[in-house]
Amino acid sequence: MGFALASQLADAGAQVELVAGPVSISISHPRIHRTDVNTADEMFETCIKIFPGCRGAILSAAVADFRPAEKSELKIKKTDQDNDILTLNLVKNKDILASLGNMKTKNQLLVGFSLETHDEIRFAFEKLKKKNCDLMIMNSLRDEGAGFSGDTNKVTILTAGDESFEYPKKNKNEVAADIVEFIIRRYF
């Protein structure tokens, strides 16, 4: 979704800073500058550094809320003494969207994504307000063809003014075009 959004924004004339996690997707556009990161911490640091110079940000990456407290450089091997349970201690990752929401100026636009499994609209509106976003793009795992596992998505755009605009299932490039068109029409 992030790559489709970057392409649509660049095609609309924006200079785009694309921060990408470890993916095998390639993109080539003269208005897109790509920074690759491998960890949630690297993504956080990169976004914090880039955001002050941007007119807006769309955060579509599904960064995990938690990560293992300890990283093993070697494979954790099972032994004959192991039981059937492995316990992992987890720590919270830094909240990129909330941090950018705290930094945001009145001249910046902040758009987040919210993937929900139940009470979708309520949770997405709560996230929008809590993280100081202007828009929240909500999708539901209950909607066939939405989310991560394919080339389609089905979204609802929520505004800070408590409006919601539902879009039908489309391929991700068309969804990105709908989102960019909404942003341009509403804010620029």
Name the residue ranges covered by the structural domains of the chain.
Answer: 2-64+86-187
CA distance 89 to 83: 17
Q: What does each of the 188 residues of the chain score in pLDDT, given as a tens digit?
A: 999 999 999 999 999 999 999 999 999 999 999 999 999 999 999 999 999 999 999 999 989 999 999 988 999 888 767 677 888 999 999 999 999 999 999 999 999 999 888 899 999 999 999 999 999 999 877 777 666 667 888 999 999 999 999 999 999 999 999 999 999 999 98
Instruction: Report DSSP state, residue 55.
Output: S
Domain 2-64+86-187 has CATH 3.40.50.10300: yes
- Strand-pairing partners, residue 157, are 137, 165
